[in-house]
Amino acid sequence: MAVIHITRDNFEQEVLQSDVPVLIDFFAVWCGPCKMLAPIIEQLAEEVPGKKICKIDVDAEPELAAQFGVTSIPTLVLIKNGAIAGTIVGMRSKKALLEFLDS
């Protein structure tokens, strides 16, 4: 499955109403660590079954970033059953992200 780009318009349906866990990558196009993390996020979207992998551009969707208290990027938020199950900030390895998804 490809990475899903989240906006205000599809946030409720894709994230809050999802019947599978959702990993959200809060990023910005100008952010160096975000660019380093992007290929890993793409790999997770293709390789991890039963979970949605999403991205939110903090510059395009500042309200969503504020809603999750994002003050540094990249920030990764795991949503399960419409609620925050975990948050990590900063660049992480693929192995660390796989462990986070299984938490």
3, 4, 28, 31: the active-site residue: 31
pTM of the model: 0.94
* Chain segment 47-101, per-residue pLDDT in tens: 999 999 999 999 999 999 999 999 999 999 999 999 999 999 999 999 999 999 9
Catalytic option among 34, 53, 78, 97: 34
Give the per-residue pLDDT at 1.
77
- Beta bridge partners, 78, equal 23, 86
Residue 35 has pLDDT above 80, yes or no: yes
Annotation marks residue 31 as catalytic: yes
- The span from the first CA to the last CA of the chain, in angstroms, equals 21
**Cα distance between residue 24 and residue 48, in whole Å:** 14
Domains annotated for the chain, with CATH where assigned, are 4-101 (3.40.30.10)
Q: What is the pLDDT of residue 89?
A: 96
Confirm whether 34 is a catalytic residue: yes
